[in-house]
Amino acid sequence: MNTHEPRMSNLFLQLGLDAGDEVIRAFIRDHQLPADVSLAEAPYWSAAQRQLLSEQLYADAAWAIVVDRLNESLHEDAAARR
């Protein structure tokens, strides 16, 4: 991952996705995950995206915080049902 400031929009750019605020909100709304599916196991990621997310989630770096925030956002519906 490059040295851009760790923000959700920059993470989306690193994933090769559109990074506008509305696009990010729509992605999160439309790609909610069940509680038993981890972020990196989501069926909509490519192998390269999956690897990037896995590496950054487990890294002890600022990007891990942003990836964790994405993980939490994609599990909001599942958490609300608990």
**pTM of the shown model:** 0.90
Sketch out the chain's domains with CATH numbers.
8-81 (1.10.10.1130)
Q: How confident is the model at residue 35 (pLDDT cuts 50, 70, 90)?
A: very high
pLDDT digits (tens, 9 = 90+) for 53-82: 999 988 877 899 999 999 999 999 999 998
Number of C-beta neighbours around residue 5 at 10 A: 9
Measured CA to CA, the distance from residue 17 to residue 65 in angstroms comes to: 19
| Cβ atoms of 73 and 66 closer than 8 Å | no
State residue 2's pLDDT score.
55
Query: What pLDDT, on a 0 to 100 scale, did the predictor assign at position 58?
Result: 83
Q: How many helices (H) and strands (E) does the chain have?
A: 5, 0
Q: pLDDT tens, 4-21?
A: 789 999 999 999 999 999
